[in-house]
Copies of this chain bind each other. A is one copy, B any other.
Amino acid sequence: MAQYRTFTAADAIQYARQHVGWDDASALVDAQEVGDGNLNLVFRIVDHQGVSRVVVKQALPYVRCVGESWPLTLDRARLEAETLRAHSQHCAEHTVKILHHDPQLAVMVMEDLSSLHIWRRELVQGRYYPQAAAQLGHYLAHTLFHTSDFWLHPHEKKAQVVRFINPEMCEITEDLFFNDPYQKHQRNRYPSELEDTVALLRNDDQLRTAVAALKHRFFSQAEALLHGDLHSGSIFIGEGQLKVIDAEFGFYGPIGFDVGTAIGNLLLNYCGLAGLLPPREAAEARELRLQDVKIVWRQFEHQFLTLAVEKTNDDALAWSGYAPLFLQKVLADAIGYCGTELIRRTVGMAHVADLDTIRDDAMRSACIAQAIHLGKALILAAPHVAHVNDFIARIRQYG
């Protein structure tokens, strides 16, 4: 077993050659460090023609954007690789392929996706991928169903819960999603003119109670192996293709969290469009985003129900009335978590390009304010929404 050391570009090339498992591995000759995230080194390993062939990703023992003062477990590399492999087993078409991983080095070698594009960048540019929403719904249904109590033997499910216990990464979510935006905290970042709007979040009894309930469910409801951070920056997209990456937040949690985070990022884009595109294009794109949200949910719901009918292994959960009832609970959870994603991406530490790249200051503030209002309205409405059409109606009403 190799001891942990931080990779240089040369290390990454050599490591890729050793572990990629190709006959022509010697064609890998150069590396470009492209990690734009906060937590990791990411090398694209290229051939003689400068074509990217494979990616080497290594976890750093601290939060990259903050520095060594915020240490972070290297075990997240194992959790990421094992989550992606588990999801790939059931949805290979939409999960990045892991070719090799080493828990000691906190490194993995994975398929190159440079022919595709980060979905968030495309959404910011106003580029539409008509199949993306349905593919995302498919991914959610297949990864979550097959890691749930519907599918796994109870012994295997419990062993998986243990394997994917992820205290340090969960703590980041626990703090950034459910604490920081609802109190004064030095990590929060929002336009100063929204101080009054943000201050209202701190003293709203119903809101704080609802956020506590969402956090408690995040803490305690081990329904399926979640991706745990399914935003549009963790999704590569191309014509007819969609691939999910970056699963270091993987753990057993409430299914609605993954669904809600994904939809929340579509709605962050929805809120930003007025500042990103000219008025008519923005209006059209907003309609497409609402359609995307509806399709994500409908595809997820349809496929989860189909899988439940065809493949549920548990005698009790197989009763025909149960999966539809459970999905109502998932919809309510998803709407709530979607609301917390809107708020933590506007008031909290980690922001999104859909809002931050709006050039006009007043417009940017207005879009951010809209996202906060929509987030709050969704958190409060969540327990009362029984159908996706009602969800869409509420987005139109508050967004």
Contacts and interface: CB of A to CB of B under 8 A. Distances in A.
Interface string A317-329: 1111110011000
Interface in A201-215: 205-206, 208-209, 211-213, 215
A132 B364 CA distance: 62
> Chain copies in the assembly?
2
Contacts of A158: 165, 167, 170
A171 B154 contact: yes
Contact of A213 (B155, B183, B325): B325
Nearest to A162: B162
B221 A221 contact: yes
A319 B216 CA distance: 12
A298 to B, nearest CB: 22
A49 to B, nearest CB: 47
A179 B315 contact: yes
A171 B315 CA distance: 13
A209 B161 contact: no
A212 B317 CA distance: 5
A314 B322 CA distance: 33
Nearest to A318: B212
Nearest to A255: B220
Given A154-B167, A315-B179, A221 B219 contact: no
Nearest to A217: B221
Contacts of A315: 179, 183
Given A321-B206, A325-B209, A165 B161 contact: yes
A174 interface: yes
Given A162-B165, A167-B155, A209 B174 contact: no
A138 interface: no
Contact of A322 (B159, B213, B222): B213
Considering the complex of A and B, which 5 residue pairs feature the smallest CB-CB distances, nearest first? A209-B321, A212-B322, A208-B319, A149-B219, A215-B316
Interface of A: 149, 154-155, 157-159, 161-162, 165, 167-168, 170-171, 174, 178-179, 182-183, 205-206, 208-209, 211-213, 215-216, 219-223, 314-322, 325-326
5 contacts: A154-B170, A212-B316, A220-B221, A220-B222, A221-B222
Given A208-B321, A209-B321, 6 more contacts: A154-B170, A161-B165, A208-B319, A209-B322, A209-B325, A216-B316
